[in-house]
Structure 1
Amino acid sequence: MAEAWLRTLKLAIRFSLREMRGGLSGFMIFLACIALGVAAIGGVNSVAQAISAGVANQGQTLLGGDLRFQVNQRSASDAELGFIRSLGTVSLNSGMRSMARLEDGSDQALVEAKAVDDAYPLFSALKTDPALPRDQLFGERSGVFGAAAPDLLFERLNLHVGDRLKLGSAVFELRARLVSEPDAVSDGFGFAPRLMISSQGLAASGLVQPGSLVENAYKVRLPEGTSEARIKEIQAQAAKDFPQAGWSIRTRSNAAPALSANIERFSQFLTLVGLTALVVGGVGVANAVRAYLDGKRGVIATFKSLGASGGFVFIVYLVQILLIAGLGIVLGLIFGAAMPFVASTLLQSVIPVPAQGGFYPGALAMAALFGLLVTLAFALLPLGRARDVPATALFREMGFESRGMPRLPYTGAALAIVVALAALAILSANDYRIASIFVGATVFAFLVLRLVAVLVQWIAKKSPRVRSVSLRLALGNIHRPGALTPSVVLSLGLGLTLLVTLALIDGNLRRQISGSLPERAPNFFFVDIQSSDVDAFASLVGKESPRGTLVKVPMLRGRIMALNGIEVDKVKIPADGAWVLRGDRGLTYDARQPENATLTEGTWWPQDYSGEPLVSFSAEEGKAIGLKLGDSVTVNVLGRNVTAKIANFRQVQWETMGINFVMVFSPNA
């Protein structure tokens, strides 16, 4: 049996190759659809892997060390600092936002001040123009400290190298332009231009006070050859020995998590767009296969008249379709494989991490599999119909007409391939929920457009007879047996759906950013005002803007350490709520319910409350991470763990631009 089947297969392949000697006429659209879809999917994923490889290969440089311990609003304690220094060479970087002013006070600008010590940087080099030794770049001269800044700050304040500005109570001289900061990516998104200064300069500014919003990052260069396993042991030891440190520990293998997450989202979005284009092209594949078989109806009839079985005919043309699809896939893979090399050049000015040009077989293999599955999903049904049509019908009819659904094995195989395609799209995605929505929306769009096609054909069939011969023929061709109406409606509908979806996403994002702002948004936000300066600041605002409204709220920074006594690292949190647990969150306390707070569950505590610490949690974020009334939340504030019970949930409208917090504690916390 196997030997006979093998002989049949060899014969079918020989006939397939003979028939293809006439060229690929009629299959150019087929080739273009497959090649473009495969190139898009393979190229996007290859570029994403290239950027990820660049991050991994330069992890030490991007992080500024092998390990990074960050504490906010405080310095590391003696015990913590002793532990960090025992690991290797340590460099302290302190960052905070503040206003930099010209010496005469005529202009000012918000800056991201970064203070570095003598050991900075542990890897790579700080590049400035002109290139200066560290003591000349940041050293003190007659009470004036040195600084470096990017072109943006020079342009914003109309400065030149050698000009001076004030930061806090200290005076700084801009001695060079900042060209390249090796560990800038690990510091996260900046809201203002960088101002690079020394640790001594920051101390002289007087900006660092108890509770100041300063981020202290202790970066460690471990001994050469330290393994990833050893780094994980250090992390575990740090968590065990200092459970209330509240520090954020990052390693060289996770140097830029925000950038990596954005790359993953971008890659997934473009992969789904490419898959949509491939699916739309799949309709073109079905049309091309059908038209090709229509042109081969005489050959198929001859095959069957000479005794060829339907299965033999099916294999002959399936082999041809697969060979042509294989050519399209190869072309797509060539373009996809070239994209990382092109991206490594084009993205240098956009992404602060060089893409690692190279060959990424995993991404290309997935793209090839998508292309093959789409080809089979859309080609099996017309091939199955060709297998079942008798020779007499093929000789008699003018075209290759559809006669209902093919046999169950072919229909079942096509359905199984569609399911496999959907499963691959979901399982290969970073966010299963988004991918599932995409698959569901695609299936829904197919069904709706199919119904639209049926409706169009019904209307054309029931339309009154018209005098115009050309119009009458046009209407007849819409509803005649074997008409291309369903395919045309499906192709145009899916293509337009993709374009409209992209346009709506762009429009909604723009409208969400610009249109959701309230009519009266705050003009200014002032942060990090010390309690001793609040009254003086309020008097100044009242004097300068008598009709203005000043809202004052105490604020601290804290990191959520545990939920219901379970460390957050061990709690599985949905993606839409995970941001609450990443990094530090702004915190406040209030005896009275804030005016802009609407409770959705629970009650506010009395003004003279003195029981166990309570917390009011944002309703949307609380539900996203699975919290309910009575649950406990442990937050680390200034190196001390505070555990509070959730007393209520409140609705927070972040788009109002008002002062809002995820958590509001009772004053006794």
Structure 2
Amino acid sequence: MRGGLRGFAVFLACIALGVAAIAAVNSVSAMMTRGIESEGRAILGGDARFGLVQRTATPEELDYLGSLGKVAAVTSMRSMARTASGEGDPTLVELKAIDGAYPLYGRAETTPAAPLADLLAERNGRFGALAAPELLERMNVRPGAVLRLGSIEVELRGVLDREPDVLSDGFIFAPRLLVSAAAMDATGLVQPGSLVEHDYKVRLDRTVRADDLTADANARFPQAGWNVRTADRAAPALQRNIERFGQFLTLVGLAILVVGGVGVANAVNAYLAGKRRVIATFKSLGAGGPFVVRVYLIQILILATLGVALGLVLGAAAPFLAAGALRAALPVAAEPSVYPLALLAAAAFGYLTALAFALLPLGATRDVAATALFRDASGNGTGRRPRAAYLAVVAGLVLLIAGLALLMADDRRVAATFLLATAVAFVVLRGVGFLVGRLARAAPRVRNVPLRLALGNIHRLGALTPSVVLSLGLGLTLLVALATIDTDLRREISGELARRAPDFFFVDIQNGEIEPFRARVAALAPRSTLDAAPMLRGRITKLNGVEASEAKVPPEGAWVLRGDRGITYAGTLPENSRLEAGEWWPKTYEGEPLVSFAAEQAGQLGLHVGDTITVNVLGRDITARIANLRDVEWESLSINFVMVFSPNAFRGAPHAWLATLDIPNTTMAVEKDVLRGIADSYPAVTTVRVKDALDAVNRLVAQLAIGIRAAAAVALVASVLVLAGALASGSRGRIRDAVVLKTLGGTRRTLIAAYTSEYMLLGLATALFALLAGGLAAWYAVARIMQLPFHFDWRIAAATILTALVVTVGIGLAGTWRVLGQKAAPVLREL
């Protein structure tokens, strides 16, 4: 090692880059998860939260909650707010009503700073309200303005800067408007069947285990149907999203390490080629193959330690660098720290990858005779394969890497698919490299000298073809796949989905108002189409008599059992659906409750025709038998439900209606007329413009795309590093070839043209494979997993080919100048 470590810069960079990516992702994820857990009480708004949908707690239930500790009641729903003067358009708001005990934990920050009770109290016949900054901007109002909310007017008395329990409410679609419980009662918005959530947050008087509390509450009130959540899982949806996105980026980081592993193998090969005379001398003096392997394995482990340490330093710094941005985006005290488990996992991946890729060239050198090493002036090696024992150890290390990745994964099916795809891509790329070499060998002899030399360089012994195709191919494949998925998502959301979707959704249309509502819509928008369906909210509590919490379902189907679902009843098969199994019930059916289940979700839950499900609706458990399974066109954004019941299942139950409105050739003026007309005539009806909803989803996808593109960019950087290392590792043979060709009359111009042609051919072949493999991976993700239309953007193809050519030719020519500048005499003496 004192003799120099030239060529190991790529080795160190590849290991450090992959380790840093994995360490950074897992450290930031751990910081966010720990922040949520440490502030669980403030995020949840209590030690425990008892949630009810579409009904308030009964006196007996309230007495029970009061026996546990201090209770704060919160009511949430979506509604429309508009200025009292009628200026501007009605705006969708997330309305939240609180009582005097709120908040039990944490602190609401307002401008001006004052007690919530004072800001929300009734003065001069008007209740107070606090608005999120976004709402003030949307409505172009300031504190002091008067808003119309339902049947009353409220006065904006300040800005709600920070809401302590906002994360526990899940995805907030619209800006927040905070009022008192008395103001909510006065609005008249909460009517039978309204889509409203009532949360009772409790500061417990004594320490109770979460499972015991849930079991006790359900045992005392088995028909309550409440969703019990404790502080240890204050924001489960956010935590799941952090874990899933962290898992995805960890797998991408592992792919970066695999790409870097090729660089490790190239660097070790090049280093051993430079030490061939030393190794030959060792063997001539009696050293055995195991001795040689141990000597250089120790050096490689020392270097791997340096690379891992550098990566860990970068990864450990990530939480400190990201904490400020995360605090601004999420109201969580993201306190940066060093996370040993995250760093340990990254270090393990780094060491295992370095060993797996270093053992192959080491094993190949073990049994090479000293005479062969002395004769190998080119440094290209003898082509000997390692012993079976080395291959077995490498296979074991690869399995250990895969096992560790699966152990860390939240969704092992996705992780296994990713690992399998990476392994297949690795094997296929080796085959592509071999195929490119065979095609170059089989190509007819050409008269153009540079092209002939280029084809010869592609298939000769020790050619760069396998390393270039493998290193650049993995990075470009990942780049093509991620870019295509991102492009298709954006096209679907902003283009195809927007064209197919209705223009408006209407929620909370009262049962007795549905026909007058139809007439009002027809007057506001002639030739429009209004589709309506009754809607209730219910939570699945049992599957075939087994508690839903005990059912074993795959992650992709768990969302159906999580929380409350929209449900409906119908006498006929809904539009945008077709029967897959079973039969639909007659319109006059009066037997046991029946339900039609979406076929895809039924398959995920393991349900079949004839099975039973129990759903809690308005505090009552209703058990229904599955009469049929439906194939549902979710992508139409029409009214669709996972569960459609027979009409007799909910006879007499209070409910509201959900409606969609499609206006042909609509204009902004027509949409504003509908928005204002419905708000004036039906203030309790919530109106949602689909365009606004899609814009919100598009913004979310754009934020996720930043992380995905950054990961793809790091993968491409790793590929470039490996490519540079591959070219550097072959420089010894290139120098010999260049000197011989110049001695035989080759000009610098001819050699440059030959090398440029070689790099262009390799880059083009690699880009074509990346387009095929990346497009196939994107098709599977978009068409099979997301079930969206797949489109391949040829701009991505052009960008991929251009990137491959620029990278390979640019890096190749950068290394060629050193090759062409070598003096002939020192090289010729060694031939």
Q: State the TM-score, normalizing by the size of structure 1.
A: 0.95
- Is the aligned partner of 1:281 residue 2:260? yes
Q: CA deviation at 1:471?
A: 3.8
Alpha-carbon RMSD across the aligned residues, in angstroms, is 1.4
Which shows bigger deviation, 517-526 or 468-477? 468-477
1:10 counterpart residue number: none
Note closer, same or farther for the CA distance 1:212–1:492 as it changes in structure 2 (3 Å cut).
same
Distance 1:481 1:90, change over 3 A: same
For residue 242 of structure 2, what is the aligned residue in structure 1?
263
Aligned to 1:54: 35
Given candidates 149, 152, 161, the residue that maps to 2:131 is 149
Structure 1 CA distance, aligned partners of 2:450 and 2:575?
A: 71
- Please say if residues 516 and 655 of structure 1, whose CA atoms lie closer than 8 Å, have aligned partners that are also in contact: no
Q: Choose which of 10, 18, 22 in structure 2 pairs with 1:37.
A: 18
Residue in structure 2 matching 1:514, options 494, 502, 505: 494
* Kept after mapping to 1: 8 A contact 2:162/2:331: no
Counterparts of 1:423-502 in structure 2, within 5 Å, are 423-502=403-482
Partner of 2:545 in structure 1? 565
Q: Secondary structure at the match of 1:611?
A: coil
1:110 aligns with 2:92: yes
Contact map agreement 2:164 2:331 (CA 8 A) in 1: no
Tell me if 1:542 matches 2:522. yes
Q: For 1:327, what is the secondary structure of its paired residue?
A: helix
Bigger drift between 457-466 and 522-531 goes to 457-466
1:233 paired residue number: 212
- In 2, Cα distance between the equivalents of 1:385 and 1:548? 75
Question: Displacement of 1:400 after TM fit?
Answer: 4.1
Structure 1 counterpart of 2:9, which letter? M
AA at the equivalent of 1:236: A
- Distance in 2 (alpha carbons) for counterparts of 1:400 and 1:656: 60
Q: Is 1:301 the counterpart of 2:280 in the alignment? A: yes
Distance in 2 (CA, whole Å) between partners of 1:618 and 1:302 is: 73
Tell me the CA shift for residue 313 of structure 1: 0.4
Partner of residue 62 from structure 2, selected from 57, 63, 81: 81
The one-letter code matched in structure 2 to 1:39 is A
Q: Which residue of 1 aligns with 2:154?
A: 172
Matches of 2:510 and 2:412, distance apart in 1: 46
SS at match of 1:634: strand
Where does the alignment leave 5 or more consecutive residues of structure 2 unmatched?
650-831
**Residue 388, structure 1, aligned to residue 370, structure 2:** no
Q: What is the aligned counterpart of 1:609 among 581, 584, 589?
A: 589
CA distance in 2, matches of 1:100, 1:483: 70
518 and 119 in structure 1: CA distance in 2 versus 1, 3 angstrom threshold: closer
2:558 corresponds, among 567, 574, 578, to 578
What SS is found at the alignment partner of 1:25? coil
SS of the residue aligned with 1:89? strand
SS of the equivalent of 1:192 reads: coil
Deviation at 1:467, TM superposition (A): 4.1
Q: Which amino acid aligns with 1:192?
A: A
Whole-angstrom CA distance in 1 between matches of 2:85 and 2:527: 28
Question: What CA distance in whole angstroms lies between the structure 1 residues aligned with 2:281 and 2:3?
Answer: 18
Contact 2:71 2:202 in 1 (8 A): yes
- Inter-partner Cα distance in structure 2 for 1:275 and 1:288: 19
Q: C-alpha distance in 1, partners of 2:500/2:162?
A: 40
Deviation at 1:520, TM superposition (A): 4.7
**Separation in 2 of the partners of 1:378 and 1:632?**
54
Match in the other structure for 1:505: 485
Deviation by residue 1:402-442 (Cα, 9 ceiling, x = unmatched)? 42311111111111111211222222211111111111111
SS of the counterpart of 2:497?
coil
1:321 matches 2:300: yes
Residue 13 of structure 1 corresponds to none
State whether residues 610 and 625 of structure 2, in contact with CA within 8 Å, keep that contact through their aligned partners in structure 1.
yes
CA distance in 2, matches of 1:311, 1:596: 69
CA distance in 2, matches of 1:478, 1:521: 53
The residue matched to 1:527 in structure 2 has which SS?
Answer: strand
Counterpart for residue 193 of structure 1: 175
C-alpha separation between the residues in 2 aligned to 1:261 and 1:402?
52
Per the alignment, residue 648 of structure 2 pairs with: 668
- The alpha-carbon deviation at position 105 of structure 1 amounts to 2.7
Structure 2 residue 16 is the aligned partner of structure 1 residue 69: no
Distance 1:402 1:215, change over 3 A: farther
* Shift of residue 131, structure 1, vs aligned partner: 1.2
Q: AA paired with 1:364?
A: L
**Equivalent residue letter for 1:249:** V
**In the alignment, what sits opposite 1:94?**
75
Aligned equivalent of 1:9: none
**Greater CA deviation, 102-111 or 121-130?**
102-111
Shift of residue 515 of structure 1?
Answer: 4.1
- Which secondary structure state, in structure 2, belongs to the residue aligned with residue 347 of structure 1? helix
Which amino acid in structure 2 is aligned with residue 137 of structure 1?
L
- The CA deviation string for residues 461-517 of structure 1, in whole angstroms up to 9 with x for no partner, is 222334455444333232222323211111111111121122122123223323442
Equivalent in 350, 355, 359 of residue 338 of structure 2: 359
Residue 291 of structure 2 is aligned to residue 312 of structure 1: yes
In the aligned structure 1, how far is the partner of 2:36 from the partner of 2:291? 53
Q: Is the 8 A contact 2:99 2:181 kept in 1?
A: yes
Are 2:363 and 2:386, in contact at CA under 8 Å, matched by a contact in 1?
A: yes
* Separation of aligned partners in 1, 2:338 and 2:215: 36
User: Is the CA contact 2:500–2:637 (under 8 Å) kept in the aligned structure 1?
Assistant: no
Assess if the C-alpha contact under 8 Å between 1:518 and 1:657 holds in 2. no
State the secondary structure of the residue aligned to 2:531.
coil
Q: Aligned letter for 2:507?
A: V
Deviations 1:564-583 (A, max 9, x none): 11110000111111111111
Q: Which residue of 2 aligns with 1:620?
A: 600
Task: Please state if 1:128 is matched with 2:110.
Answer: yes
CA contact (8 A) 1:38 1:336 kept: yes
CA distance in 2, matches of 1:120, 1:176: 17
- Aligned equivalent of 2:824: none
SS in 2 for 1:529: strand
The 1-side partners of 2:519 and 2:620 are apart by 34
Q: Name 1:4's counterpart in structure 2.
A: none
Specify which structure has the higher proportion of helix: 2
Q: Structure 1 CA distance, aligned partners of 2:4 and 2:216?
A: 68
Distance (Å, rounded) in 1 between the aligned partners of 2:433 and 2:532: 62
Q: What is the alpha-carbon distance in structure 2 between the residues aligned to residue 402 and residue 346 of structure 1?
A: 54
Map 1:10-29; keep pairs closer than 5 Å.
Answer: 20-29=1-10
The amino acid across from 1:532 in the alignment is G
CA–CA distance in 1 between the matches of 2:491 and 2:574? 28
DSSP-derived class of the 1:439 partner: helix
- 2:394 is the alignment partner of 1:408: no
2:815 aligned partner: none
Q: Which amino acid aligns with 1:650?
A: R
**Retained in 2: the 8 A contact 1:402–1:481?**
no
Give the C-alpha shift of residue 132 in structure 1: 2.0
Post-superposition offset of 1:343: 1.6
Counterpart CA distance in 1 for 2:505 and 2:449 is 73
Change (3 A) 1:146 1:423: same
Deviations 1:141-179 (A, max 9, x none): 122100000111111111111110111111100000110
Q: Give the distance between the partners of 1:467 and 1:306, measured in 2 at CA.
A: 50
Deviation, 1:652, is: 1.1
How far off its partner does 1:210 sit?
1.6
Q: Structure 2 residue aligned with 1:245, among 194, 205, 224?
A: 224
**What's the offset of the Cα at 1:72?**
0.6
